[in-house]
Every structure is written in C-alpha cells, then in structure tokens.
C-alpha cells in the first residue's frame, strides 16, 4: 500500500452520507492524508440542510438557525481555510422577535426583540418587563456563560468510553452541581425572572432537544446560551450554503464526492460479523474501504446498512424527539406584521401544550411556532417584492396519535389560519405562489427514524455518555457522525459529531 510518510500507511475511508456530520468528519480527516470518499444519495450535499427552490423563491428545508460560529470556524481551519473566505455571513441584530398570545390574539401579551448586543437586550427587557427583570438578565447572562464554560469541553466536545469519563476530571461536574444545572430548567429560569414571558423566551430552547422545559435539566440552558449569548448568523444564499461551501473545499483538497450514489450495505469480513471491509452500492458493485463513517441515523445504519433486524438495545429503546410540520412558502406580498428574520409566536397555553405534544402524542391546542423569513436578510431569495417563508410547528413524531394521511390537510389549514391571524400570510390564498409541505411521513421517507428531523431526544439518560456512542466495538472500523449519536441534535452538535468521529478514526488507524 502507498504511504504518505515513512511511518504512515494511506488508508481508505468511506463516508456514507454528505450531511453536515459527514462533511465535518471529512474536513477533520483531510490532514491525515488518507483517501476519503463521500457517498451521497441525493444530487446535492447537505442532508437535512437542503433547499426548496421554485418560481423565483429559495427557502431552506432543514435547519434555519445558525449559531456557534467558532465551531464552524474549526471546520474551515481544519481545511486550512477561513470561514469568511467561503461564506458571506450576516450577524443578526435581532436574533428573534418573540410574540406572546392572549386568547386568539397572537400579539395579545405584546412582543419583545431578542437583541445581539447585551446592552440593547437589557434596555429591551427594561422597556417591556421592567428594571428588576432587566437586572436579572445581566445575572442570567453570566449564569449561562458559566454553565457553557463548565459544560462544553467536559460533556459535549469529547468522546466517552465509560461513565468514568463523564465524571473525570471531577471539577467541571462539581461546578455544574454548584450552578444547579441538574435542577429543572423551568425552575432555574423562573428563579431569575418574574415575567412569565421571559421564562418562556429563555427556556423554550429545550424543545430543540426534544424535552419540555418542565422536564429538562438546567444543563440544557446551554442551548439558550448558543443563540441568546453567542449570537445568530445567516449565510447569504441560505443555510444550505454551509454544506455547499464545505463540499467545495473538500473537493479542492482531494476528497472524492460522489453524489447520486446510494450505499445499500456496509460490508463486513465475515458476512454479518467481523470488521468493516467496504460498501455495496445500489447497482450491486462493491468497493473496499478500511473504515466506514455513517452519516445516517444510527437506527437506519443498523437496520438498513448492516442488515440487522434489531439495532443494539440502547438505540432500539431510544425515545425520539417530537417532529415538525414544516411549510415552505413563497408569497407575492410580504408580511404586514412587524417582523424580524426569526419570529417566534408563543401560544397562551404553555405547560399543557408540552403535555399534549410529548406525553400524549397529540397536536398542541395552542402551538408555539417559528416563522423564519430568509428574504428579510437576503431579498434575492424571494421574487420581486415577495417573501420566502419557513414556518414550523412542533408536532408529535410517528409514535403519536395523529394519522397524517388523513389529518395532514386539516393540520396545514389550521397552521395557515394562525399565520393569517398573525399577519404573516395574506387573507388571499392566491398570494401563495409556491409551497412545499413536509410532515412526519415525509421526514420518515427522507430516512429519519420515527419521522422526526430532531432524532433521539436529549433526556438525561440519552445524553453525554448515555447517548448512543459514535463507535461500536462489535463492528470494528465503523463509526457514526449524526444527530442520533454523540453529542446530539442541532447544527453545532452535528458538526462536533463529525470531529469526534474523526478523532475515533484517527485512533483506530493509529494516527494518534
């Protein structure tokens, strides 16, 4: 075999799936000098981070919120590049515009803008909720920073081989205990703010992790830190520009990228057992590889690519996050409401809504929804004076009680009615020029277990060392880089998952 140095053998690495986790893994392995091939079923890279383009409108069809720019910087740095050379990033001054309902009025309890500048945010809270809660935000911001500093390196940005790794070194764990990070998130946020609107605003982020703020532990306030404190960005051209940019640099660095190429099986040395030896493609051809990194959901990897009727116990018994009803629309007119790039509409029912969604598997009576308007920051994404709209309502995953074949249309019409009430949509149905609806059945068809793009939820015993690992000692040479494994869900976490998988591969191949 060829070598790239006197002491290192060049090995071949297959990455199954060109989503953000797979791309991140490739980026962090380029410097190793090994031969890397990315196989992607679709015609484009990005996985969940795709786009809907039609009739002069371009709308992201996956993640819509970009945070934690330093993590993205590490991807390009691993490739010897700078983020600014490949992405035109807009830092949002208003991170979110939060609107609070009362009865049928989506603005009945007023609105509040979450500002990027700390002093501006303090002033905003003072004007809306009073001086006491404005002062509380100063203390809460410090709490979030302290939490992040104690948590990120120790519990997120590392691989775990045992529970002992979770506890050692002990000082970060003790700091988390001191911070009360294992108390309920809602109670922690409530201890700072008296205005219930602020409690909602700074705790709803736990839903990204698939957990109610009334059940989530305080450690999940780190998600609040990632947007409220670290800032929110938007790449000109849409979120899909991130995987596009990474893919271009990878190709320039010699990574083979094969789109429209579906991997149907991961091959092993003894049929259904033994170490990884390569992959089989949809056309029946087989290609040899020393290592395979799966960017697919862990459950899908075991059931479809390894041919195991039942995944490992930890994966088979996992609880999944709620799903989303996503409506992508291009409208001839812009919203008449005062809007920002990201807009949250909080329903007036709060705790009961989470019970309906997560515990009972029913659609929320008073749903809290996200409306992102990418054309607000990049007018070229919409036609003429129109708007590109990304509208998301949390709904139960396919383990819930909704029959999406028969109830989809009713759910869509109800969602549109709420958007008309909020003055996001016009009362004239013909104002919608293009639209694409994605429900849990559609997410399932795209390879997402239980029909949710948010994967395995982050209940405590499905996080950190308790989450499905990114390697399996019973399948030497196989590694995982996806939201369903370490460290978890969300663009920053998935990018970290790629780096952690690359670290595993380097160790396996004797590079470190």
Specify the pTM: 0.95
Please report, for residues 10, 20, 289, the alpha-carbon distance to residue 34 in angstroms, rounded to integers and kept in the order given. 5, 20, 11
The answer on 432 and 339 residing in a single domain is yes
Compute the distance between CA of residue 221 and CA of residue 147 in angstroms, rounded to an integer. Answer: 8
Q: Is residue 64 part of a domain?
A: no
**Structural domain that includes position 472:** 3-48+238-318+459-508
Q: Is residue 486 part of a domain?
A: yes
The answer on 164 and 122 residing in a single domain is yes
The answer on 427 and 342 residing in a single domain is yes
Please report, for residues 64, 184, 277, the alpha-carbon distance to residue 263 in angstroms, rounded to integers and kept in the order given. 28, 43, 14
Q: Is residue 206 part of a domain?
A: yes
The answer on 429 and 439 residing in a single domain is yes
The answer on 128 and 106 residing in a single domain is no
The answer on 412 and 393 residing in a single domain is yes
CATH number of the domain to which 331 belongs:
3.30.519
Task: Give exposure, 229-261, as e/b (b: 16+ Cβ within 10 Å).
Answer: bbbbbbbebbbbbbbbbbbebbeebebebeeeb
The answer on 153 and 111 residing in a single domain is no
Q: Is residue 66 part of a domain?
A: no
The answer on 274 and 193 residing in a single domain is no
Q: Is residue 304 part of a domain?
A: yes
Q: Is residue 57 part of a domain?
A: no
Written in H, E and C, the secondary structure of 133-186 is: HHHHHHHHHHHHHHHHHHHHHHHHCCCCCCHHHHHCCHHHHHHHHHCCCCCEHH
| φ, ψ for residue 488, nearest 5 deg | 145, -150
Total count of domains within the chain: 3
pLDDT in tens, the chain (512 residues): 334 444 568 899 999 999 999 999 999 999 999 999 999 999 999 999 999 999 999 999 999 999 999 999 999 999 999 999 999 999 999 999 999 999 889 999 999 999 999 999 999 999 999 999 999 999 999 999 999 999 998 888 888 887 777 777 788 888 989 999 899 999 999 999 999 999 999 999 999 888 999 999 999 999 999 999 999 999 999 999 999 999 999 999 999 999 999 999 999 999 899 999 999 999 999 999 999 999 999 999 999 999 987 788 889 999 999 999 999 999 999 999 999 999 999 999 899 999 999 999 999 999 999 999 999 999 999 999 999 999 999 999 999 999 999 999 999 999 999 999 999 999 999 999 999 999 999 999 999 999 999 999 999 889 888 899 999 999 999 999 999 999 999 999 999 999 999 999 999 999 86
The answer on 124 and 110 residing in a single domain is no
The answer on 111 and 123 residing in a single domain is no
Q: Is residue 191 part of a domain?
A: yes
Q: Is residue 83 part of a domain?
A: no
């Amino acid at each position: 075999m060829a070598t790239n140095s006197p002491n290192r053998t060049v090995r071949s690495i297959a990455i199954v799936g060109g989503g953000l986790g797979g791309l991140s893994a490739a980026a962090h392995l380029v410097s190793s000098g090994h031969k890397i091939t990315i196989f992607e079923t679709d015609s484009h890279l990005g996985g969940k981070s795709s786009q809907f383009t039609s009739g002069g409108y371009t709308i992201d069809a996956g993640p819509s919120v970009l945070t934690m720019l330093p993590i993205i910087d590490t991807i390009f740095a691993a490739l010897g590049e700078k983020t600014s050379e490949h992405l035109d990033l807009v830092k949002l001054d208003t991170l979110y515009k939060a609107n609070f309902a009362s009865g049928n009025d989506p603005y009945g309890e007023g609105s509040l803008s979450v500002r990027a500048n700390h002093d501006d945010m303090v002033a905003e809270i003072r004007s809306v909720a009073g001086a006491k809660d404005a002062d509380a935000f100063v203390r809460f911001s410090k709490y979030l920073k302290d939490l992040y500093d104690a948590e990120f390196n120790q519990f997120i940005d590392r691989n775990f081989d045992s529970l002992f790794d979770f506890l050692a070194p002990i000082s970060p764990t003790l700091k988390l205990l001191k911070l009360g990070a294992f108390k309920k998130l809602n109670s922690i946020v409530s201890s700072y703010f008296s205005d219930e609107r602020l409690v909602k605003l700074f705790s709803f982020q736990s839903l990204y992790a698939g957990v109610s703020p009334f059940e989530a532990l305080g450690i999940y306030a780190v998600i609040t830190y990632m947007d409220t404190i670290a800032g929110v960005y938007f790449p000109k051209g849409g979120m899909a520009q991130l995987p596009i940019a990474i893919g271009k640099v990878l190709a320039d660095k010699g990574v083979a990228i094969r789109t429209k190429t579906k991997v149907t099986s991961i091959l092993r040395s003894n049929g259904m057992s033994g170490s990884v030896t390569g992959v089989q493609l949809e056309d029946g051809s087989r290609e040899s590889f020393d290592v395979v990194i799966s960017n697919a959901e862990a459950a899908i990897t075991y059931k479809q690519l390894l041919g195991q009727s039942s995944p490992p116990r930890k994966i088979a018994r996992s609880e999944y996050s709620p799903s989303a009803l996503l409506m992508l629309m291009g409208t001839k007119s812009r919203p008449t409401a005062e809007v920002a790039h990201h807009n949250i509409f909080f329903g007036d029912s709060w705790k009961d809504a989470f019970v309906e969604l997560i515990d009972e598997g029913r659609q929320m009576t008073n749903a809290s929804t996200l409306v992102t308007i990418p054309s607000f920051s990049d007018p070229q994404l919409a036609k003429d004076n129109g708007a590109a709209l990304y509208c998301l309502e949390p709904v139960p995953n396919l383990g819930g009680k909704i029959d999406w074949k028969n109830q989809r249309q009713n759910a869509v019409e109800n969602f549109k009615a709420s958007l008309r009430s909020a003055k996001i949509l016009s009362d004239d149905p013909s104002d919608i020029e293009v639209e694409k609806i994605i429900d849990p059945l559609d997410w399932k068809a795209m390879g997402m277990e239980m029909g949710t793009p948010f994967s395995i939820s982050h209940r405590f015993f499905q996080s950190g060392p308790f989450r499905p690992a990114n390697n399996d000692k019973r399948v030497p040479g196989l590694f995982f880089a996806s939201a369903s494994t370490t460290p978890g869900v969300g663009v920053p976490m998935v990018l970290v998952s790629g780096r952690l998988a690359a670290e595993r591969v380097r160790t396996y191949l004797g590079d470190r």
